[in-house]
Structure 1
Amino acid sequence: MDGISDVAVGVKRGSDQLSTYKNTISGTDCMNDGASNGSDSKKLKVDAAPPSRVLHIRKVPSEVSDAELIALGLPFGKVTNILTLKGKNQAFLEMGTEEAAITMVNYYNSVPPSVRNMPIFIQYSNHKELKTDSSNQQTRAVLPAVSTVPSLSSDNQEAAGTSPVLRIVIDNLFYPVTLDVLQQIFSKFGTVMKIITFTKNNQFQALLQYSEPAHAQQAKQALDCQNIYNSCCTLHIDFSKLVNLNVKYNNDKSRDYTRPELPTGDGQHSLDSAVAAALRKDSSLLGALNPLSAAAVVAAGKVALAGQPGVLLVSNLNEEMVTPQSLFTFFGVYGDVQRVKILYNKKDSALVQMSDCNQAQLAMSHLNGQKMYGNVIRVTLSKHQTVALPRDGLDVQGLTKDYANSPLHRFKKPGSKNFQNIFPPSATLHLSNIPQNVTEDDLQLLFTNTGGTVKAFKFFQDHKMALIQMSTVEEAIQALIDLHNYSMGGNQHLRVSFSKSSI
C-alpha cells in the first residue's frame, strides 16, 4: 500500500517545487484564453495542437486542488507531472504516455468534464513534456506514488494470465465507495476498462476489468485486505471466472470507459444474465482482515468526495404518504439527517441534508432504487449546499423540518457501534433495546401491524436484541420507518436497523 496514501503528499511537494518553473512555460498554450479571467467571452484562437502527453486544462476554478485535477487523469493511466497556474485559472497535466493522453482527450470530448460543478476544458498542449531547469531537477518526480507500479514476480505470471477481471468485496462499508473511487484506486496498476458494482448477500461488491491480466495480478497483490479509509471499507480481492464484462449502461452502478456513448439505462440493473451466472460460480473470497492492522487513507478516495455537498435530492416519492419524519427515519440509517424539505410545488420530491458529504454519498449508494411506500425512489446529489428553512409562519403544511438537535441521530457519539453496523436495506431487521417483559408474540404482532408478514424471528440470548425477517425488503423498510424509536413503555424505545444476517 506504500504510495497509495502518498499521492496528496507528492502533489503538495510537487506544487511547491514547481513554483520556480511556472515562468518557463511558453505563452502559446495560454494565448487569448478566457480562462485567465474566468470569462467565456474569449475563445482559444490558436490552432489545435497535435497529440501530446501534456494536456492543457482551462477554466480551472481558483480553489481547486492539484489532487482533484490529477483525479481527472488517473482513470486513463499514470499521471507523471502537474503544473497549476492559479492566476490564469489553468493547469498542465502530464500523462505517462501519449496514448493515455489521447484516450483522455477523446473521452472528455464526448463526456464534458467538470471540477467542483464547474465545466473545464481539456486539450493537447504544445509542450511534449513538463521540463525542469537545471537548478530544480527534483520536479521530474512530482508524483512517484502515482507513476510507480510494483513489478510482477515470475511466480505470479501464470496466475496473472487467468483473467483480467477482479471480483472485489468491500467489508465494513462505513463511507461510500463509488465507481470513481474504485477507478482512481485501481487505475494505479493499469488501465481500467469496465466496472460493475452491485449488492449480493448484503455485501457491496464490484467486478473490475483491466486491459491486461498482469495488471489485475498487480492490483490484487497490492490491495487485497487493505482499507480504503482508516479502519473501514476493507477490500477482499480475488480473480473472477469471467474474462470479459458486458456493460450495458454507463451510470452510477456500472461503467464502460471504452464506450462513453452507452445510455444511462434509467435505473436498469447493471448485471446481465451471463455475469449473474458467473458470480454464482466465483470462488468465495479469502478471510477477513485483522481489525488491528493499520492502513492509510487513500488519497484518491478523498478526491472523489472532496467539495461535494451533503444535500440529496429524493424524487418519485409517494406524495400522499411521505412526510419529513419518514424521510428523517429512513435516511437516518446512513447518517445524521439535519434538515428535510418536501418541495412545495413538487411534493413527490424532497431535499434531505445530511451532516456531511460522506454520509450523503453513503445514503445515496444504499437507497437509490429502493421502494418506499410503493414507489421506487431516486436519490441523487443536489446542487444545493444546504436546505433553507422557511420564514416563521410560511410553512403552514409542515413540509420543512429541522432535525439538527434531534436526540435520534445514530452517529453523534464518536466510536459508537452503529458505525460498524451499516448495511443495505434487507428483509431482516435488527432490533435492540427490547424490555425484558416483551415477548416474541408481542413483537411479531407489532411488526405485522405495519402491513407486512413476519417470516421468521429469533431472540438473542439476553432477549435485549432480536432479528425479525419480513417477507420483502419493502416491508422491512416500512417497518423500520414505522417502528424505529417506538415507545415500548417505561421510557424505553425500540431501535431498528437493517441486518446483514439471515434467520
Structure 2
Amino acid sequence: MSSVSSQPQFRYTQPPSKVLHLRNLPWECTEEELIELGKPFGRVVSTKCNVGANRNQAFIEFAELNQAIAMISYYASSSEPAQVRGKTVYLQYSNRQEIVNNKTTADVAGNVLLVTIEGNDARLVSIDVLHLVFSAFGFVHKITTFEKTAGFQALVQFSDTATASSAKEALDGRSIPRYLITDLGPCSLRITYSAHTDLSVKFQSHRSRDYTNPMLPVAPSAIDATGQFNLGADGKKLEPESNVLLASIENMQYAVTLDVLHTVFSAFGSVLKIAMFDKNGGLQALIQYPDVQTAVVAKDALEGHCIYDGGYCKLHISYSRHTDLSIKVNNDRSRDYTIPTTASLNSQPSILGQQPYPGIPGYGAAAYSPASASGMPMHNYPYGLPAMGHGAAPPSHGAPHSSPMQPYNHQ
C-alpha cells in the first residue's frame, strides 16, 4: 500500500514547468487553437502540435512559470474542463522545461497574419474595412474573419512574407483610422504571424473573401433583398433590413424581462410582439415592429448600448429573417401586444411621453440628440430607457419592473 500511495498522481503533482502537456485534443489541432486555450493565463511563446501515436497530443510553453501554474490550478478546481472544439482536454505539467526545435509564435514570420481586433465595437468592423487597411501594404489575397474567446479575429493572407512583415510592423498595436469606422468606437489591432500559408475560402461572404478569384460563388447570406451582392464597405448593412430585430444581451448582471425590453424598444415605435429565448448560453429576443422603417431607427439607436448603467445588459442587434412572429401563448417569455388582453400595455405612455423622432413625423419615440452617435453610454441619452440613476439599487433577478424607471441624468 505504501508503494502505491507514494506514486505521484497523474495530473497535478509533477514538478511545475512552463511547458504543459495536453492530451485528448481533436484531430489536427492547430497552433492557433492551442494559443487560444492558453491565452487567458499568459503569453504562449511556443507550441508543438499533433504529437503522439494518434496525433492528439500537444505541448504549449508559457513565457512565465506562474502562467503555466495558473492554468493548471484553474482547471484543477473548475467544474468546467478545458475544451477544444467541444472535446475535453487533459492537462499536466511536462517533464521538459522548454520546447526545443519548434516554431516560436512571436519570431517565425509568414505570409499570413493573425489579427485580433480590440474594442467595444470590434465585432462590427467589416471585412471591407480590414481589406482597406491591409491592402495599403500590398495585394491582399484572402481574408477570413471569426470569433474566438480572444475576441473578433481575422486571418489576412499576403503573397509573400516580406509584405506581411511590413504590414505587421506598421499596424501592430495601432488603431483603425477613424474615418473608416466613423460610426464605431475606437478599435485597435494586435497582430501575430499565423502558421497558415494558404487560406481556404469556399464562398465570398461577410466572413470570408478571396480577392484572387472573382468567379467564386457568393454565399446566400451576402445577397440582399434586391439580389445584389451586399457587402458595403461602411459595414452598416450586413444583412437585409427587416421589421423584426434580433437582440442579443451580453453581461447580464441584472434580470431582463419582457417589460424591460418593451420599455426599451417601444421608445421608437409600436412594438407588436416580443419573444425571448436562450441560445448559446445567453439571452436573445425577437422584437417585431409594424414596418421596416421603425426597426431601422431602433437598431441604429440601440446597437451596442447598455440597458443599465455600468455596462450591464449590452445590446447587440441584427435584422431577423422573420417578418411575423408566431406567439401562441402570452407568458413571461413571449407576448403578442396586438391581442385584446395585452393591447392595453401597448397604449401606456412612454416614460417621457410621445415625442417626435427627427425626420420621421408622428413616431412615438423619445427625443434624440446628436450625442447618440458618439458611442457614449446609453444612460446619457434623454429617451426613457431603464438605466440606473445615481445611487439607485439595481433590480433583483427575476423581479420585473412594475413602475416606470427614470432616465439617468449626469450631474
- The TM-score bracket by the shorter chain reads 0.3 to 0.5
In terms of fraction of residues, the more helix-rich structure is: 1
TM-score by length of 2: 0.38
